[in-house]
Structures are given as C-alpha cells and as structure tokens.
C-alpha cells in the first residue's frame, strides 16, 4: 500500500471499491440472463440443425447480431470516460494497491486448475476532465503441484 500521492487517498480507493462490489453484484443477474440466452440459442440452433436446416443460417445470423448488440455497447463503455464520455481517457497509471487471492478456473483439458492470482489496482486521471478512473488488472500464475 502506497500513499505517496495527495490526489488520491486510501479512503477514496476504499469507497470506489465498495461501490464497485455493489455494482458487480447487480451485474451478476445480467450474467445469468446472458448465460440463459446463450443456452437457449444453443438448444434452438441444435433443434434447427436437426429438424429445419433451412432456418439454421438465418437463426445464426440473428443470434450473432443479438450478441454484437450486447457486446459493442459494453466495449464502448470500457473505452470511454464515465464522467465526460470521451474516448481513450486514461493517462499514466499509478499503482495504489495489490490484492492477493487464489482462484480456480477451467483448464483447457476440462479439469479445474488452481491459480494464484494477484490483482493490481491503479488509478489514473481522465486526460480531458481530470476525473479519477480506477483500473484493475489481474495477473495469474499457475501454482506448482
Ligand atoms: Zn473525462
């Protein structure tokens, strides 16, 4: 934990992370909805592939458009300043905290693999409106067994 800058205090960081965890919990229900959408498309597509092959291509195109409509606004949101809305706002990153945590992910061979992950929390200023933007990067390394 470094506190060598006057602009961003540890309290500001904590408050931002509290807000983020509330937001993450709200966003979790969208994740469930998207997963249900994905699986219903998968089942629908499989049924069409078996019984109504002619409808399969239009179905795949419409499904693709739906996903683009979900993903594009999300990507645009990531590239913009939440305050002034301008693109590519991030300036120099300043490390404020590192968070240690272990996690599990699905490995490519289909089994669980354990990772020791470290999250690096940075803050930066919007180049245009000087709003503080939080950046979280995680780096994972596989644990040796
Ligand atoms: Zn801005």
Domain contains 84: no
In a domain, 63, yes or no: yes
The 10 Å Cβ neighbour count of residue 136 is 12
Please give the pLDDT value at position 76. Answer: 94
Structure token digits, residue 110: 């289909």
Contact between residue 101 and residue 117 where contact means Cβ atoms under 8 Å apart: yes
Instruction: Tell me: do 61 and 94 sit in the same domain.
Output: no
What pLDDT, on a 0 to 100 scale, did the predictor assign at position 1? 45
Residues 29 and 72 in one domain: yes
Compute the distance between CA of residue 68 and CA of residue 124 in angstroms, rounded to an integer. Answer: 29
Q: Which helix (H) or strand (E) holds 28?
A: helix 10-51
Counted domains in the chain: 2
Ligand 1: distance of its center to the CA of 4 in Å? 24
Instruction: Report pLDDT digits (tens) over 128-138.
Output: 999 999 998 88
Residue 94: helix, strand or coil by DSSP? strand
9 shares its domain with 57:
yes
What spacing in Å lies between the alpha carbon of 80 and ligand 1's midpoint? Answer: 8
Instruction: Give pLDDT, residue 105.
Output: 59
Residue 21 pLDDT: 86
Distance 59 CA to ligand 1 centre (A): 40
Residues 69 and 14 in one domain: yes
> Is 42 contained in some domain?
yes
Ligand 1 center to 39 CA (angstroms): 38
Q: Are residues 96 and 143 in the same domain?
A: yes
Q: Are β-strands 94-106 and 112-125 bridged in parallel, bridged antiparallel, or unpaired?
A: antiparallel
6 has a pLDDT exceeding 70: no
Tell whether 15 is covered by a domain.
yes
**Residue 101 in this model has a pLDDT that exceeds 80:** no
Same domain, 59 and 24: yes
Q: Ligand 1 centre and the CA of 38: distance in Å?
A: 34
Residue pointed to by tokens 């780096």: 139
5, 29: one domain: yes
Do residue 93 and residue 137 come from a single domain?
Answer: yes
Domain end: 42, 57, 79, which one? 79
Question: Which residue range is the domain that position 28 belongs to?
Answer: 1-79
d(CA 17, ligand 1 centre) in Å? 19
How many angstroms does the Cα of residue 33 sit away from the middle of ligand 1? 31
In a domain, 13, yes or no: yes
Specify whether the CB–CB gap between 80 and 89 falls below 8 A: yes
Instruction: Specify whether 74 is located in the same domain as 128.
Output: no
Of 79, 93, 87, 76, the C-alpha closest to 132 is 93
Structure tokens at 82: 């939440």
Q: What is the per-residue pLDDT for 3?
A: 46
* Model pLDDT for residues 9-53, shown as the tens digit of each residue: 888 988 998 998 898 888 888 889 999 999 999 999 999 999 999
Distance 24 CA to ligand 1 centre (A): 22
Cα 124 to middle of ligand 1, angstroms: 11
- The residues, ordered by sequence, that sit 6+ positions from 102 with a Cβ below 8 Å of its Cβ are 114, 115, 116, 117, 143
Mean pLDDT of the chain: 85
What is the reported pLDDT for 42? 95
Cα of 125 vs centre of ligand 1, distance in Å, is 8
């Amino acid at each position: 934990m470094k506190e060598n800058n006057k602009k961003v205090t540890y309290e500001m960081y904590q408050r931002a992370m509290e807000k983020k965890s509330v937001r993450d919990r709200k966003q979790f229900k969208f994740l469930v909805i998207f997963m249900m959408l994905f699986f219903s498309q998968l089942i629908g597509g499989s049924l069409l592939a078996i019984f109504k092959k002619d409808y399969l291509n239009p179905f795949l195109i419409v499904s693709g458009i739906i996903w683009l409509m979900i993903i594009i606004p999300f990507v645009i949101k990531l590239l913009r300043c939440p305050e002034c809305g301008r693109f590519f706002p991030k300036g120099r990153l300043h490390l404020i905290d590192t968070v240690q945590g272990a996690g599990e992910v699905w490995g490519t061979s289909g089994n669980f693999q354990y990772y020791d992950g470290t999250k690096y929390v940075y803050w930066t200023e919007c180049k245009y409106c000087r709003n503080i933007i939080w950046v979280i990067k995680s780096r994972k390394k596989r644990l040796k067994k």
